[in-house]
Amino acid sequence: QVQLVESGGGLVQAGGSLRVSCAASGGTDSRYVMGWLRQAPGKEREFVAAISWVTWRDTTRYSDSVKGRFTISRDNAKNTVYLQMNSLKPEDTAVYYCAADRTTPNVVAGNPSYWGQGTQVTVSS
């Protein structure tokens, strides 16, 4: 079964940068849509970013709140997906979850088939 393990979360000042990583194992391949979701205290889980393999190239999608600041990428050789977060804001504070699904809709909807344990990202003001 697919297993996702996040790492790289931590505390960063507003305006700073952080990169979180997700190591995938247990049957994932390039056909899986990989992504990131986040959940802040008292708020619903929300979509952050996704990356899919379309026409032999990676296609990315971002929520409006992070577009231009965050970059999702994947290293197929390492079976790892990354989320580079720049210009961080206090409202980015949340638990960030790696996500995987066979298709895009469930990831974008915040309901992927698989997800990891999460990594805490805290942005101080």
**Distances, alpha carbon 57 to alpha carbons 8, 43, 77, in Å:** 26, 34, 15
* pLDDT tier for residue 58 given thresholds of 50, 70 and 90: confident
* pLDDT tier for residue 78 given thresholds of 50, 70 and 90: confident
Task: Return the closest-CA partner of residue 101 out of 11, 30, 26, 33.
Answer: 33
Question: What pairing do the DSSP bridges indicate for beta strands 70-75 and 94-101?
Answer: unpaired
Question: Is 114 exposed, middle or buried (CB count within 10 Å of its CB: 0-12, 13-18, 19+)?
Answer: buried
Question: Taking the mean position of all CA atoms in its chain, how far away is CA 21?
Answer: 8
Three-state DSSP class for 100?
strand
pLDDT of 30: 63
pLDDT of 56: 65
Mean pLDDT along residues 5-24: 97
State the Cα–Cα distance between residues 88 and 113, nearest whole angstrom: 28
Query: Is the pLDDT at 76 greater than 90, yes or no?
Result: no
Q: Strand pairing partners for 66?
A: none
Query: Is the pLDDT at 53 greater than 80, yes or no?
Result: no
pLDDT of 32: 85
Three-state DSSP class for 36?
strand
